[in-house]
C-alpha cells in the first residue's frame, strides 16, 4: 500500500487482477458442472459419491479463493490441496460412472480440470511450481482413462496437451503481468526519489541564494570595511566569510574528512596569519565520496604551506583558491598577485619542496609552479585519483560505495 495515496502498489493491484482472472476460470468450471448435472440427472442422482465429489471441490474452491483474497497472493500449499481434491473428484467420477453411459464420465471433469489448471498457471511463480501443482489433476485423469476405463494410451494424449496449454498460457500471462507491475513500481519509486531530490536541490538553491545575497554579502562587507576595529573580531569574521562562501558554493562535506571542508579550514587558519583567501570550491560539490582521506590530508597540507608562502613572501594580503574534481583528476590551484620570483634564478624553498611537492608525490600527484617577478605566483596541484596507492584509508562514504 502506498502510504501517500492509500492505493495499493501496481504489484498489489496486479495480484488482485490475477486473482479475479483465476476466480473467473473457476466460476466457469462450476458453470460447466451445473450444465452437465441436469443433462445426466437420472444417472447422477443414483451415484451419491459423485455428489460428494462435487461438494468437496466446491468447499475446496471457496477456501482457496477466500485465503487468496485475504493474503493478496496465491496460497501455494492450499492450491496444491485444492488440486489434490480435484484429482480425487476425477477418480471418484470415473469409478462410479454407470454402464449405460461409460463414455460420459468426463463431461464435467475435463472442462473443470482445464479451467482449474489455468488458475494453476496464473498462481505459479515458476515452471517447476506449475508442474507439481498440476500433477494431481493430470495423473488422476490419466489413471481413470488408462486403468479404470482400460483405454489405449492415445485416448488421453490430446487431453494432456490441452491441460499443458492451459497451464503454460496462465504461467506466461501471470509472469508477464507481474514483471510489468514490478517495472512500473520501480519506475514510480525512482520518480519519487528524483522528485524528492529535486525538491531538496531546489530548497538548497533557494537557501544558498538567500545566504549569498544577504548574509554573505553583509559578512564580507564587514570583513573588508572599516567598521570592525578589533583585530581578533576581524579575523573571526573573515573566517566566517570563507566558510560561508564555501557553503554557498556547495562544499558541504563531512568536517572531519571532506576535502572541501578541510580546504575551508585551511583558509580560515590562513586568515589568522593575515591572508584572506577567495575560495572557489563548487567543483568539489560531488567529491565527498570520491577523494581518499590520504589525498585530503596531503592536499590540505600542501595548500596550507602554499598560503604560508603567500603570507611570508608575496607581500599581499590575499590569494585565490580554486579546486575541482573532473574526470577522476583532482586539481587545486593557489594564485596570488604578489612579488613572485624568477624560477630560473631562485631556488625553491624547503617548504615548497618538502611540504608541497613531497606531500603530493606520495599520493601519486604532481605540482607545477608558475611565477614571474612582481606579477605573482601560481601553485597547481594535480592528483589523478586512480593513481593513489591503495592503503585502505578512504573516506567512509567512499568505502561504503
The tens place of each residue's pLDDT in the chain, 401 residues long, gives 444 444 468 888 899 999 999 999 889 888 877 777 666 555 554 567 777 888 898 999 999 999 999 988 889 999 999 999 999 988 888 787 655 455 566 777 888 888 889 889 999 989 999 999 999 999 998 888 888 877 666 666 778 888 899 999 999 999 899 899 989 989 988 998 888 888 887 887 787 777 777 777 787 777 667 777 776 676 667 667 766 776 776 655 444 458 888 888 888 878 877 888 888 888 887 666 678 888 988 998 899 888 888 888 888 888 999 999 888 899 999 999 888 887 777 666 666 777 788 889 999 999 999 988 888 899 999 999 887 766 544 443 333 33
Cα separation, 155 vs 17, in Å, equals 36
- 255: DSSP letter: T
> Residue 225, SS3?
coil
Query: 359 burial class (0-12, 13-18, 19+ CB within 10 angstroms)?
Result: buried
Task: Determine the pLDDT at residue 246.
Answer: 66
Task: Determine the pLDDT at residue 236.
Answer: 66
Task: Determine the pLDDT at residue 228.
Answer: 75
Task: Determine the pLDDT at residue 398.
Answer: 37
Q: Can you say whether the dihedral through the CA atoms of 368, 361, 354, 264 is positive or negative?
A: positive
Closest CA to 368 of 339, 335, 324, 327: 335
Task: Determine the pLDDT at residue 213.
Answer: 76
Cα separation, 209 vs 253, in Å, equals 19
Task: Determine the pLDDT at residue 108.
Answer: 76
Task: Determine the pLDDT at residue 394.
Answer: 45
Kind plus residue range of the DSSP H or E element containing 329: strand 329-336
Closest CA to 281 of 265, 261, 296: 261
Closest CA to 283 of 263, 302, 260: 260
Residues constituting the chain? 401
| Inter-axis angle of helices 259-272 and 231-248, nearest 10 | 160
Do residues 90 and 140 lie in contact, with contact meaning Cβ atoms separated by under 8 Å?
yes
Do residues 109 and 148 lie in contact, with contact meaning Cβ atoms separated by under 8 Å?
no
Q: Where does 278-331 have alpha helices with state H?
A: 293-309
Task: Determine the pLDDT at residue 384.
Answer: 92
Amino acid at each position: 500500500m502506498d502510504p501517500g495515496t492509500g492505493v495499493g502498489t501496481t504489484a498489489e493491484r496486479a495480484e488482485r487482477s490475477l486473482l479475479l482472472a483465476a476466480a473467473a476460470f473457476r466460476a466457469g468450471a462450476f458453470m460447466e458442472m451445473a450444465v452437465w448435472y441436469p443433462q445426466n440427472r437420472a444417472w447422477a442422482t443414483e451415484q451419491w459419491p459423485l455428489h460428494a465429489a462435487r461438494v468437496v471441490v466446491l468447499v475446496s474452491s471457496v477456501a482457496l479463493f477466500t485465503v487468496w483474497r485475504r493474503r493478496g497472493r496465491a496460497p501455494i500449499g492450499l492450491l496444491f490441496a485444492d488440486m489434490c481434491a480435484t484429482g480425487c473428484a476425477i477418480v471418484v467420477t470415473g469409478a462410479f460412472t454407470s454402464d449405460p453411459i461409460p463414455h460420459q464420465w468426463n463431461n464435467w471433469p475435463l472442462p473443470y480440470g482445464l479451467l482449474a489448471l489455468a488458475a494453476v498457471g496464473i498462481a505459479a511463480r515458476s515452471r517447476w511450481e506449475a508442474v507439481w501443482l498440476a500433477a494431481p489433476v493430470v495423473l488422476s485423469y490419466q489413471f481413470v482413462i488408462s486403468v479404470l476405463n482400460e483405454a489405449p494410451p492415445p485416448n488421453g494424449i490430446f487431453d494432456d496437451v490441452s491441460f499443458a496449454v492451459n497451464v503454460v498460457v496462465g504461467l506466461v500471462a501471470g509472469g508477464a503481468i507481474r514483471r510489468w507491475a514490478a517495472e512500473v513500481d520501480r519506475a514510480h519509486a525512482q520518480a519519487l526519489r528524483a522528485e524528492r531530490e529535486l525538491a531538496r536541490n531546489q530548497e538548497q538553491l533557494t537557501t544558498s541564494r538567500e545566504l549569498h545575497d544577504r548574509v554573505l554579502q553583509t559578512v564580507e562587507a564587514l570583513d573588508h570595511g572599516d567598521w570592525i576595529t578589533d583585530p581578533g573580531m576581524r579575523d573571526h569574521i573573515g573566517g566566517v566569510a570563507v566558510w560561508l562562501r564555501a557553503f554557498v558554493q556547495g562544499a558541504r562535506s563531512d568536517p572531519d574528512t571532506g576535502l572541501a571542508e578541510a580546504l575551508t579550514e585551511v583558509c580560515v587558519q590562513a586568515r589568522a596569519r593575515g591572508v584572506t583567501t577567495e575560495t572557489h570550491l563548487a567543483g568539489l560539490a560531488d567529491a565527498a565520496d570520491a577523494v581518499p582521506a590520504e589525498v585530503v590530508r596531503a592536499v590540505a597540507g600542501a595548500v596550507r604551506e602554499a598560503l604560508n608562502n603567500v603570507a611570508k613572501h608575496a607581500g599581499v594580503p590575499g590569494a585565490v583558491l580554486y579546486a575541482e574534481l573532473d574526470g577522476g583528476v583532482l586539481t587545486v590551484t593557489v594564485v596570488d598577485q604578489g612579488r613572485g620570483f624568477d624560477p630560473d634564478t631562485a631556488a625553491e624553498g624547503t617548504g615548497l619542496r618538502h611540504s608541497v611537492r613531497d606531500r603530493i608525490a606520495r599520493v601519486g600527484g604532481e605540482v607545477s609552479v608558475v611565477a614571474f617577478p612582481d606579477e605573482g605566483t601560481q601553485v597547481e596541484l594535480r592528483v589523478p585519483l586512480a593513481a593513489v596507492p591503495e592503503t585502505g584509508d578512504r573516506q567512509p562514504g567512499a568505502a561504503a560505495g
